Amino acid sequence: MGLGKLSTSMAKRYYVTTPIYYVNSIPHVGHALTMLACDVCKRYAEMQGQEASFLTGTDENGLKVMEAAAAAGESPMAFVDRISKTFSDCAETLGMSNDIFFRTTSDQHKRAAQRLFEVIRDNGYIYLDKYEGWYDVSSETFVKESEVVDGKSPDGNPVRWVEEENYFFKLSAFGDRLLAKIEEEPDWLLPHVRKNEVVSFIQQGLRDICITRANPGWGIPVPGDESKVIYVWFDALINYLAATGWPDAGWEDLWPADVHWMAKEIFTRFHATLWPAMLMAADLPLPKRVIAHGWFVFGDSKMSKSKGNVIGPDELIKFYTETAGCSPKLAVDVVRFSLARALPYEGDTNYTLEEVARIYNADLANDLGNALNRSLSMAHKFTSGLVPDAAVEDDALKAALEAKEEAEDAMNALRLDDVVAAGIDLIRWLNKYIDTRAPWALAKNEDPALAGVIRSMLYAVRNAEGLLRPFIPSTADAIAAQFRLPGLTDWSMIGTEAALPAGTQLGEPQPMFPRLDKKIMESLKPQPEASAPKEEKPAKKEKPKFEVPAEIEFTDFMKVNLRVGRVIEAEGIEGSDKLVKLQVLVGDQPRQIVAGIKKKYAPIDLIGRQVIVVANLKPAKLMGHESQGMLLAADDVDGAPILLQPEHEAPEGTSVH
């Protein structure tokens, strides 16, 4: 039932769906999360050689839509056309690979909904009766008397008393069959904590549900009785089947759905109970998996347009293009990656600008971007920019295969947060591997192991590209382009040395994810309430001009501890045209040093270089970055720095005197 090892011999295409989104507001990142989950599932299936289809769309019927259109001064059709487009635009903006954007106002949906109503009625599970009770217009749900508190539904919305002759669906007839299905297939409903909620809900006793309303002039008429329209939830659920072409021939090419993804609020009553019961009543196959993720929240509050705490995908993309300096395609990937990383599987997750920025800096800038830059830079420095013709080291082979296995196991459980973690963990393994194997030391000693180490480094990045591709496809393409190789789109190639052919001429490293500096990170934190203005600080005194210091004693000079170090990492500091942040190995201890050499030296050219370090200088902070030493340099005729280094290679950490 899982996605880990899909069969290519199956005639049916893999079929994954979001819920169709109700057109009462524009999309936010909660909607984008469910789209991403489906997009990842589809892309993963395709990497395994499976034909796949992905559905999303909009739910456009219901009394609430008609009332919202009237309030907006529009016809219902004009209103739903306008709002529906915002969802299709959102899917396109975020690079979703949906094949179907389905609308419940389409003729195809109307025909399928009416036909399914007829089939269920003909099978004896729909009957006419009088409905008296409370109705929540905002959530389009019928509410039990016991659930109404202070005139409001369990969702906190006002309710209306309704008395109408309507059609009812015999939901009560399916409790035992649903419980048997859940027991026979423990992973049919996910996650298990929500499956248990469904079991409890069914065991309390299912009651027949009213499935029509008096026709207000908007909705799908009941076949044979146009005085009524089909209840919006009964009609909306049918979209998954209608989109396959049912009841026309060929619908079995897609149905049953392999996975229905949704948020938890529509899981228990509708997708895990009503919808499978409707399919049972029509003698149709049930979806293979139904899964509900949690909510993105802010403190204790669910994301809600009415509460003003909604984050729009466009807002995030704009931030990472304009503030972080990412390209538009990579900024989209930042949003996609953060959604997967923060995916609320069982509980809920805080999702804020600050949290997205933390994920961005930690995973994309510090880990992925840094590993790619280090690996390509050292390949250019030590192996002439070629993938060495040497075997990948056993540790690297093992790390890649373990990451692949972890990703497959996680996909089987639809734990997308764990799938993306497997790719990033491989990158973190690589960064530690580089420090442990120290290719700069191997090069200095002309150690023949250097070629295998460089290939192992490149191999790890290449495999991470494949593992992360379903989540960040543009980033994966950019990595492949820097390797001058086709994208790693065949899952079976991940973990093989053939994925990285020896002799490949590598491209130059191109930074992708500029790090957000401390000042920007601080600006994203919730701001405290304004307090009384502080007294103005006195103006800073101008620094005195440099003068040649007086003579010193030899014992004074001996207090300065000069050591030979080697640069193992280098990156420019955002917001500064002079400063470079270096990781310098002094002996066996790495230390961070900030130096004003950016105008003269490209960070890439510094990696592997030996330098002279003032090792006992008191640490200082420059633009928020701690510097644990100083590099020695001379001035050229224009005052630009010339870094001093030993005439010949010297042991790291050796004393300079």
pLDDT at 113: 98
pLDDT at 652: 74
Output the domain CATH number for residue 562. 2.40.50.140
Per the listing, tokens 């690979």 go with 97
Q: Is there a domain that residue 538 lies in?
A: no
Shared domain check, 240 and 164? yes
Distance (Å, whole) CA 11 – CA 450: 48
pLDDT at 9: 38
Distance (Å, whole) CA 546 – CA 361: 38
pLDDT band of 548, cuts 50, 70, 90: low
The H-or-E segment that residue 427 falls in is helix 416-437
Residues shown for the chain? 657
What DSSP assignment string belongs to 246-301? TTSTTGGGTPSPSEEEEEGGGIIIIIIIIHHHHHHHTT-PPPS-EEEE--EEETTE
Shared domain check, 81 and 173? yes
Cα angle for residues 394, 397, 403 (degrees, 5° grid) = 140
pLDDT, tens digit, 9 for 90 and up, residues 416-464 = 999 999 999 999 999 999 999 999 999 999 999 999 999 999 999 999 9
Q: Is there a domain that residue 175 lies in?
A: yes
Distance (Å, whole) CA 316 – CA 354: 11
Shared domain check, 571 and 431? no
Among 328, 433, 342, CA closest to 93: 328
Among 473, 354, 457, 391, CA closest to 95: 473
What DSSP assignment string belongs to 545-580? PP-PPPP--HHHHTTS-EEEEEEEEEEEPTT-SS-E
Per the listing, tokens 């393409």 go with 477
Shared domain check, 376 and 271? no
Output the domain CATH number for residue 396. 1.10.730.10
pLDDT at 85: 97
pLDDT at 567: 85
Q: 33: which residues sit within 8 A by CB, 6+ positions away? A: 263, 293, 296, 339, 343
Least confident of 234-243, 381-390, 626-635: 626-635
Q: Is there a domain that residue 341 lies in?
A: no
Shared domain check, 56 and 130? yes
pLDDT band of 1, cuts 50, 70, 90: very low
Q: Is there a domain that residue 547 lies in?
A: no
Cα angle for residues 466, 467, 470 (degrees, 5° grid) = 85
Shared domain check, 475 and 619? no
Residues 135/159, Cβ–Cβ less than 8 Å: yes
> Pick from 469, 484, 499: which residue ends a domain?
499
Residues 294/344, Cβ–Cβ less than 8 Å: yes
Strands 225-230 and 290-293: unpaired
Among 3, 104, 101, CA closest to 53: 101
Shared domain check, 476 and 406? yes
pTM here is 0.80
Shared domain check, 426 and 568? no
651 pLDDT higher than 80? no
Greatest Cα pair distance, the chain, in angstroms, is: 107
> Pick from 499, 523, 540: which residue ends a domain?
499
Q: Is there a domain that residue 6 lies in?
A: no
Q: 42: which residues sit within 8 A by CB, 6+ positions away? A: 14, 16, 52, 53, 54, 97
More confident residue, 154 or 90: 90
Residues 426/399, Cβ–Cβ less than 8 Å: yes
Per the listing, tokens 């050591």 go with 563
More confident residue, 195 or 604: 195
SS3 457: helix
Shared domain check, 571 and 460? no
Among 456, 451, 469, CA closest to 398: 456
Q: Is there a domain that residue 428 lies in?
A: yes
pLDDT, tens digit, 9 for 90 and up, residues 622-647 = 877 888 889 988 887 567 888 888 87
Shared domain check, 581 and 454? no
Q: Is there a domain that residue 416 lies in?
A: yes
Q: How many domains does the chain have?
A: 3
Give residue 179's domain range: 14-293
Q: What is the DSSP letter of 505?
A: B
Shared domain check, 131 and 238? yes
Least confident of 67-81, 91-105, 476-490, 611-625: 611-625
Shared domain check, 476 and 586? no
Cα angle for residues 490, 493, 494 (degrees, 5° grid) = 100
Output the domain CATH number for residue 51. 3.40.50.620
> Pick from 245, 262, 293: which residue ends a domain?
293
Q: Is there a domain that residue 317 lies in?
A: no
Give the chain's end-to-end CA distance (angstroms, integer).
Answer: 69
